[in-house]
Structure 1
Amino acid sequence: MNSGRLQRRGRLLLGAFGVSAALGAPAAADGWSVAGSLSQSFEGDTNLTLDPNDDDGAFGSTTSLGLRFSSETSRTSFVISPGVTARLFTESSSSDNPTSISPRLSSRIDHRVGAFDIGGGFIFDVRPTAFSELNDLELGAPDLEVIDQDATQISFRADAAIGYQIDSGNRFNIGPNFSIIRYTDDSDALSPSTTFGVSGGYSHQLNSRLALTAGLGARYVDTDGTPSSKDVLVDTNVGVRGQISDRFTLDGAIGLSFQNSRDSASGSDNGIGFTTDVDAAYAIRDDLSLSLVASRGIEPSASGGLETRTFVGASVSHLINTRESVDFNFGYSSQDDFAGFTGDTDDSQFQTGFGYSLSVTPEIAARIGYAFRWVPSGRDEAMSHKLTLSFSGDRVFQP
């Protein structure tokens, strides 16, 4: 399972604690560093868009280039990371070869003043809805039913937080967050949204390894579509994070989301939903590990209104030697209209696969992988087989 899935965190509680975690350890040394990354992958997919009527394969090429400029002092950390991803697909039965270029820019600054931690950051992202997330089952991907729309998604997300260390075992965080998502004019089936929110979190350190957490937040989501909607959500959760034993780590929370929605077509409505976010890892042996990720949350839908998104993923990784490793993974995701504790789960997808990774040099890595994807019959059954070969490299230009 790729690193993006294993880095998933809760939108309320775990996000609020991110600033304190980043500032928890002083930088090792002052000064600037510049690093670059380049990756290239080639793939063949028997059914790229998971169309139940598609029997023709597609071949793709993806190139990603990124830079990271960072400055570290004993009290302040600053990072800015520009990047771009280019994708090309060639379908065996069509003269149309879809291409996309997706720029991305992110930045974050954290500063410590006495017992206070102050931080904030943003992510600016431009990507086509077509093909951009087909290979990512992680929470937050565009809706499966509109994935093929010929449109560009432009998003900007920002957050800030202030953390206060009450004493050696207790910490409090609070901060605002904002996001705006827009689509190009040819995306009639997609609905732009604007979100304003505030969240707070509290953690109590039980011992050197384990902490109890609690969170509370509120969001206002304005979706401009047909119909349009204005939603107010209040989220609350409790959780635990830390190292349960020498081999077992856990970071998770469970909670409830209360919603009041005003829809231009159906009027006002209220609902309640269950939310969870779990990231666990267990080292069976020094060379064999098991990871589990589970998420369930309520977010604005690309096609308008709110929806419940669920993701469950697991992976097993085996380190053959210092240069080689193999892994097996499984994932399930679903998206359905938010309707309290229950809802339709026809819009779901399963994926399983395995991969082999090789460190060619300390800076260059290669990987070959296979993935099987399946959409069950509830949304017109479809499946695909995918083979991927990729190369990646990282280089620090200035120590």
Structure 2
Amino acid sequence: MSARPRVSDAQRRALLGVRHRLAGPGARTVAEAAGAVVGLHATDPATVFLSAAARLAEPTVAEVERSLYEEHTVTRLLCMRRTMFVVPTPLVPVVDVSTARAVAARERRGFVAEVHKAGWSDARLAAAERLLLAALAERGEATAVRLTADVPELREQLVLAPGKSYESRISVGSRLLRVLAAEGAVRRARPSGAWTSARFRWTLAEPHATDLAPAEARSRLAREYLAAFGPVTVEDVKWWTGWTLTDTRRALAAVETVEVDLDDGSVGLLLPEDHARAPSPEPWVALLPSLDPSSMGWRRRGFYLDPELVPALFDRNGNIGPTVWADGRVIGGWAQRADGRVAHRLLVDPGAEARARVAATVGELTAWLGPARVTPTFRTPLERELAAD
């Protein structure tokens, strides 16, 4: 018989609700909402706003925009699993050193290989890069279209995945901006359209100086993840960070943890200060957007997601769509229709009281979205069906 303490699935769901600011008092700031889950997924621009809104005590689009583009209390960067996140700005050096720098190096290598195939020399690329940064410094903020007008050779098209079914074309300038953003030289400013738009303006970024060693940064990020998502397995940590198994084990070895038995038979890791906690939140529901960090925070998801729901709620690449939650479980999905109304479908019956809370939350989200229209980049079977009804 194991001498380890047990953390049940019910306890894990209670921890999820309280830690992720989905149960009880909402977060006071966007940075607090992001920090509750380490970072908000930002592949879809709208996800940042919807994830923050689900966690804020007083959610507004303006508050998220101020945090991103004026006060800079949160920062967007390409990091864990080569995924875009918005993280609290004080955490940026940890995320940068532990994950983002390796991602940026990979982005640079891939880009250089692409332009070499297109006949560019290293000298030509370096000259074009200097001209782009100079144009951006002069303008302060500019769209990719404006910058490629300033540096015409950046309009040249690169063919990505030639001959594949997903072949695409992108300008050298757009691809270069992505690389420079990954390296921290430039950052995304306000989009040229609505808050749901991915057509960002660009501006020069202020460097985040740090003397953190990679091993220390990885251990600090592992601790942040444990504080938000624990108990977690080694597999969860490796998957969420995108690290090698060796780096994952070394990072966890540098963090004081408690081993616990989980209901699925695996061994989880928990921070010692969390071991005695047994929150009992009031009943809660939430409508979370596609790729929300609470939906995508673990590799093993059985404690909050019935495997039978996966085909309806995920696309073929493992991206989750918009979900309906009740008391720490995924119970259905939602979508916005062309007329602006939010439609939902429950795939699990949570009982009459929870159904009523979900219906009220659906009405609140419809009103909050107003004239905005949100269509996930990665569309799932249930989201498509609900949006078309």
Q: Aligning the two structures, in what range does the TM-score lie when normalised by the shorter sequence?
A: under 0.3
Q: Which has the higher contact order (CA 8 A, sep 6+)?
A: 2
TM-score by length of 1: 0.26
- Report the structure, 1 or 2, having the larger strand content: 1
- Report the structure, 1 or 2, having the larger helix content: 2
TM-score by length of 2: 0.27
